[in-house]
Amino acid sequence: MKKVFGILRNNWKKSIFFGSVGAYGVKFGLRKKEENDLMKVRCQEASLMGQITKESPTRITVILNPAADSGKARSKYEDYCAPLLHLAGVKVSVIRTEGMGQAKEIMKIMSDADAVLIAGGDGTLMETITGLLRRKDANSYAKSIVLGVLPVGKDNKMAKTLFHDHSGNDVDLMSSATMSVLNKLFRPMDVIEIANMDEEDEKKLYGLRSFHIGAFRDVHERKEKFWLFGSLKNLFAYVFSYSTSQKEINWDLNGVIQYSETEELVKEVSNFKQKKTEVAESPKSTARWLLSFFTGSSIGKASETREITFKRIRQWILLPVYQGLELFVSTENEVDKLEAKETNHMLKLRLGPKSLNFLDFVHEGWSREKNNSYTEDLYSNYVTKAVTFNAGKMKRDDSGVKFSLDNESIELRGGLEISILPNKVLMFCSKNNHFDYVIDNDNGKTKIMNKKKWMQSSMGPSLSSPSKLI
């Protein structure tokens, strides 16, 4: 034994190196064993579901962004998500995106899907929801389809919110998100709408969590440039960015901001639309889908209907002219964990201070990167209940200025109107935050239950031009 200690002492550098490698190897092996054991259990559960006789197999479309997480997204999906879907007897159609913005175009032509799963990060999810809500039939189609997120990307904040209890381990998070699809657990989600006041409606953007513009956002986007500092890159990004020119960092946002705490929708029917028309029975109708999906029942012919437009009536509250370095608007989805109940359908606004000295700026930025939290004392202007914000032009010259919607960088073009759309989409979630809810249809309010019974229709995903996208 003394001889062994003597060898280790005389070769202490090699001993430390090989000891560290050995410790890492043991830790890696234990983690892999834990992941394999978890996947074994999940595969057994999915296999049992697949043994249940179904009149029609469930069909799901997966929008896969293979470039997410530096090209690792495809292997993650194939290793931890796809096996569970196939074992459960699900018919899966995978569409791989080939560039930025393609998820929007895919959703514009999607039809008759039981569910659409987004295999990527927060950016792919934002694009998919934007494509869904830009459709001409968005109001009806968004109620007839359930979205799911398979967190195989780098930034998966929305997935960690929906599956908070499983967010400590990537494999647990990915497999739990997949199992929620098989268990038919979902909930309605509010959507944040970004409209450019200088452009047409079809240019609107949609997200689930937040809108962010200003100095802290800009530095967060630049942090990868400091990769040379390793684990301290987040700190040095704020250290070296403090003296950066105005062209790269927005230190002086300014503009007029107003908000509304209430919104009333007033029905308006044009004269040429007042004549009622018969609606023929269709297997693709929203009412038929809802009844078969949630209750297993069937319907006859749809009742007479007519097209109605709505005019939004708001009472605006004007804030003092803003000058500062940050503007942040968030939905109630911007939390670590969702509660198993309906939200209040409100937006929150944080207006940053006019300026910060070097130490305060670096400390606040480093704290946000490390703890994913902000210092409330910095924000004197704080609005907690609003349905719409109207922000005029925030920069005299907004060329090159960017904002983030759900962490996705977008170029600013003029003034913006930011609104909340309550319960706009349905999304799969964990059993700890799913709940029974009420949904509006043509016949009034109907209680919709999260029953463990998939729709009995044979409808499946289809694309008008699939050969161009796969």
CATH code for position 344: 2.60.200.40
> What DSSP line would sit under 285-315, residue for residue?
-HHHHHHHHHT-----SPPPB---EEEEEEE
Owning domain of residue 60: 49-185+429-455
Residues 158 and 234 in one domain: no
Residues 238 and 329 in one domain: yes
Looking at this protein, which amino acid is placed at residue 289? W
Please give the Cα distance from 44 to 179 (Å, whole number): 11
In a domain, 302, yes or no: no
Q: How many other CB atoms sit within 10 Å of the CB of residue 348?
A: 17
Q: What is the pLDDT of residue 210?
A: 93
> What DSSP line would sit under 12-23, residue for residue?
HHHHHHHHHHHH
DSSP state of 109: H
Number of compact structural domains in the chain: 2
Please give the Cα distance from 106 to 147 (Å, whole number): 14
Residue 271 C-alpha from the chain's centroid: 40
Q: What is the pLDDT of residue 24?
A: 78
What's 173's domain CATH number? 3.40.50.10330
In a domain, 107, yes or no: yes
Burial class (CB in 10 A: 0-12, 13-18, 19+), 440: exposed
DSSP state of 224: G
Q: How far apart are the first and last CA of the chain?
A: 64
In a domain, 274, yes or no: no
Q: What is the pLDDT of residue 426?
A: 92
Dihedral Cα 470, 137, 207, 91, nearest 10 deg: -40
Contact criterion met (CB below 8 Å) for 122 and 334: no
Contact criterion met (CB below 8 Å) for 301 and 442: no
Task: Going residue by residue through the chain, which has 470 residues, state the pLDDT in tens, using 9 for 90 and above.
Answer: 667 667 766 776 666 777 777 777 877 788 788 888 889 999 999 998 888 756 666 779 999 999 888 889 999 999 999 999 999 988 899 999 988 889 999 998 887 778 999 999 899 999 999 999 999 888 888 888 899 999 998 888 999 999 988 877 889 999 999 999 998 889 999 999 999 876 665 689 999 999 999 999 999 988 888 888 888 888 889 998 887 665 678 888 887 888 887 766 555 554 444 444 443 444 444 444 444 444 444 444 444 444 555 556 667 788 877 788 888 999 999 988 888 888 889 999 888 888 889 999 999 998 888 887 788 777 766 787 888 888 876 665 666 788 999 988 988 887 888 999 999 999 999 988 888 776 554 444 444 544 433 333 333 333 333 333 33
In a domain, 152, yes or no: yes
Residues 224 and 354 in one domain: yes
Taking the CA of residue 446 as centre, how many other CA atoms within 13 Å lie in the half-sphere pointing to its CB? Answer: 13
In a domain, 278, yes or no: no
Residues 247 and 380 in one domain: yes
Please give the Cα distance from 335 to 355 (Å, whole number): 27
374: which 2 tokens?
């902000």
In a domain, 285, yes or no: no
Residues 199 and 322 in one domain: yes
- The residue to which tokens 């296999």 are assigned: 47
Residues 243 and 116 in one domain: no
Residues 434 and 401 in one domain: no
Residues 76 and 138 in one domain: yes
Residues 54 and 180 in one domain: yes
Contact criterion met (CB below 8 Å) for 91 and 115: no
DSSP state of 336: S
Residues 78 and 118 in one domain: yes
Q: What is the pLDDT of residue 256?
A: 82
Residues 162 and 178 in one domain: yes
In a domain, 21, yes or no: no
In a domain, 4, yes or no: no
Residues 241 and 324 in one domain: yes
